[in-house]
Structures are given as structure tokens and as C-alpha cells.
Amino acid sequence: MVAAVAAARQGAQVLLIESQGCLGGSRTAAGVDTFYGFYTPGELPRRIVGGIPWEIVERLQAAGACFERPNTYGAGTGVTYDVEQLKLVYESIVLETGASLLFHTFACQVHTESETIERVVLANKGGLTEVSAQCYIDATGDADISARAGVAFEKRDSEQLQSLTTIFFLANVDVAKAKQTKHDRLVDKMKEANRTGNYHLPREDGSWHVTPHPGIIQANMVRVSGVDATDPFALTLAEVEGRKQTQEYIRFLRENVEGFEQACLISTSQHIGVRETRRIVGEVVLTEDDVLQARKFPDGIAYCGAPVEEHHAGKETRWAYVQGDGVYHIPYRTLVPKQVNNLIAAGRCLSATPGALASVRNSAQCMAMGQAAGVAAAICANEKTMFRELDIGRLQAILTEQGAIL
């Protein structure tokens, strides 16, 4: 979505294809209601992402639809927003640019000739349609376009992939009372509950937080492990399992945590949250060492200071923090696939090792990658240049003019 805005603002003619009925992916459809990654974690948070992603925050602020939540559970200051308002902000910012928008449409097939995408087949209520463009941006999270175009990609075995989560929202929570059970105590209560044998809670360190609405909280507790979300049958079973676990966590909260006695379920995410599937093999692969050593690159297009937060199978989550000055660069070359000339990736399908992905996949960084990919696509389409031949200095200059922090 940010890629489409960035490309359209550079004068490109853009068609934005979205399989859901709203924009935002995980940030809306999966119920994630907090942007992490704008700020570094730690005692003195610094804002390290600007540009279009920050413009989105400003629009939410103007609508009174977000607030900053200080460093909780180690991820750094978050910007918690009203998901429905974010859908409206995304729609208005896209449509203002003149870009065309197509909901409920799957990009399902890609025709490539001589390392160049010739056309993409779309499936929707109108049947199958082919579209053709000068440049393509793969922001599908799962690298769908890249994989179908023949780009090399990596994907761990399903047992190793980060787990999936159905996020749920509860109303009628006595938040003041609920906050008296601190996170550590909540974790202990989950462990105790599992030990009784009366509950089955696959994750014991999940959390909940307040939303912009009184008495309504968002919970990130469910853990569905061992699922490859690019396998349609496995994804379907994960949705079923996620909703089942949601009921179990609500039972646990109502029966064990003060303030939740009268809680009622408002919604589960319309799409289960997927953290990790395919990652393209790009011109450069971002590694966990690059992340932890706070490495900088000459072709940096954004910063990230978010810790490695790996939701592996099992009851806990692995955390590791960026050292040095606390931020590393996301290199442009991690967005450029090794094969295929007119394709660029953005978001969690970038070229990164699993450990690096567990840091760089935060919302602010995914949106910042989108801005870089969109500007790059507009330049390449206009000048009929390949992404890997782009003048990086020029891209960086445009991004800086647009308020991006490099």
C-alpha cells in the first residue's frame, strides 16, 4: 500500500491489487493494532522512521485515533491505533494519489519471459484477468509474485517457521483492575493454569494491551505452530485452531485474571497473523549478525532498531537486542531479487535470514521498505531501467526529500 502511494506520487500509473477487502494486511486484517519500529527500544527512544509511514501516523493522530505506548514487553515505544480508522487512512491516502485500487483480487499466476515479467493473472469475481506493467512490486508478505516469477526463495520447514497468531479483541474489561496483574504475574498464572491440566494454553508469555477505546483490549496470546501458511489446507486448519485457542484464552482470562470476569469477545482477526513464510533471495541477504552488530550499508533505505523477536514453537519467545548505536540499515539490495529484472519486493518477504526477519518485519520497517520500492519502481518504469541498475544515490536523495530517515 505504501509502495503504491510512493510510486503514484512519483508520477507512475499504479494498480494496487489486494486479496482482502481492506488495505493494510497484518496491520488491519490480522488485527495488529500497534506499529512497532518507529522508535528504538531502551531508556531514550529515538524515532528512526519518517516519510509516508510517519505521515500515516500523523493522519491517525489528526483523527484522534492513535496514541503512543511506552516501551512494553521489550519491543520499544509503540503507536497503538484504531484498526478501522487505519483502514480509512490507508484508503484515502491511496485514492488521493490517483492510483487504481482492486480489492478481493488475488494475483495468482505470473508469466515471465527472458527474466522479465510479461503479465500477471488476477482472480476475482470477474473471473481471470491478465494485467501487464513495466514494473511489479511484490508486497504480498509471502513472496507470491516472486515465487511464481521464478525468483529463488527460502522457506524453513513448517516446524521451524515462526508461529501464527489469531489476534482477538475483548470488550467489557475492567482495565484498571486488569492492569494490577503485571505481565510477569500473568505469565505465572498461565503456567499455573497449564500445570492444573484444566487448560491448554500453547503460549505462556502472550500479552494484552489497551486500545483507544475504554474497556476494549487487544490480546496477542494464541500460538499456532508448525504451519506453512503458503499451504492453503494448512492455513485453513490454522484459522480453525486459532479461533479454538481464542476461546480457551478467554476462558482462562475470565476465570483467572481479575478485571476480565465480564469480558466478551468482539472479534477475532479476519485473517490469522502470519509472521514468516517465503523470503526472496536478493542481491544481499540481511543476517542476524548485521542486525545485532548494528551494521550500516551504503545502500541503506531505512533504519531498524527493533529487537529480534522470534515466536518459535514452544511456550516462550526468543529476544535479542541490537548492539552499538542501536540501529542497523535495511539495504536496498535486500529488496532486489537475484533473478527477474522488473520486480522488487517490500515487507516481510525481503531477502533476510530467519533471525534477521524476526527483527526487520516490524510494521514501520515494512512500510519504509514499501516507500523505497515504490519510488524505485517509478524511476525504473520511467527510465526503463532494471532495479539492480538503479542509481542508489538518486533513490536515497528522493527518499530523504520525502522525509525518510536514512
- By CB under 6 A, name the binding residues for ligand FAD: 17-20, 25-27, 30, 32, 34-37, 106-107, 139-142, 144, 165, 167, 220, 273-275, 347-348, 361-363, 366
Residue whose CB is less far from ligand FAD, 363 or 382: 363
19, 104 Cβ separation under 8 angstroms:
yes
- Residue 115 Cβ vs ligand FAD, minimum distance, rounded to whole Å: 21
Cell numbers for 44, please give them. 531514550
CA distance 189 to 332: 45
Residue whose CB is less far from ligand FAD, 317 or 342: 317
201, 248 Cβ separation under 8 angstroms:
yes
Establish how many alpha carbons lie within 13 A of residue 108's alpha carbon, considering only the half-sphere containing its beta carbon: 12
Residue whose CB is less far from ligand FAD, 161 or 173: 161
Residue whose CB is less far from ligand FAD, 266 or 382: 266
Residue whose CB is less far from ligand FAD, 41 or 347: 347
With a CB cutoff of 8 Å and minimum separation 6, the contacts of 43 are none
Residue whose CB is less far from ligand FAD, 24 or 300: 24
2, 367 Cβ separation under 8 angstroms:
yes
- Residue 179 Cβ vs ligand FAD, minimum distance, rounded to whole Å: 19
For helices 51-62 and 363-383, give the axis angle rounded to 10 degrees.
120
CA distance 224 to 200: 12
Instruction: Kindly list the distances between the CA atom of residue 142 and the CA atoms of 18, 115, 118, 252, 348, in Å, as whole numbers in the listed order.
Output: 13, 20, 21, 33, 8
Question: What does DSSP assign to residue 23?
Answer: S
- Residue 369 Cβ vs ligand FAD, minimum distance, rounded to whole Å: 8
272, 164 Cβ separation under 8 angstroms:
yes
For helices 392-401 and 363-383, give the axis angle rounded to 10 degrees.
120
Residue whose CB is less far from ligand FAD, 20 or 172: 20
111, 22 Cβ separation under 8 angstroms:
no
Residue whose CB is less far from ligand FAD, 351 or 362: 362
Q: Which residue is nearest to ligand FAD (CB)?
A: 347
CA distance 37 to 12: 28
- Residue 214 Cβ vs ligand FAD, minimum distance, rounded to whole Å: 21
Cell numbers for 380, please give them. 525504473
For helices 2-9 and 83-96, give the axis angle rounded to 10 degrees.
20
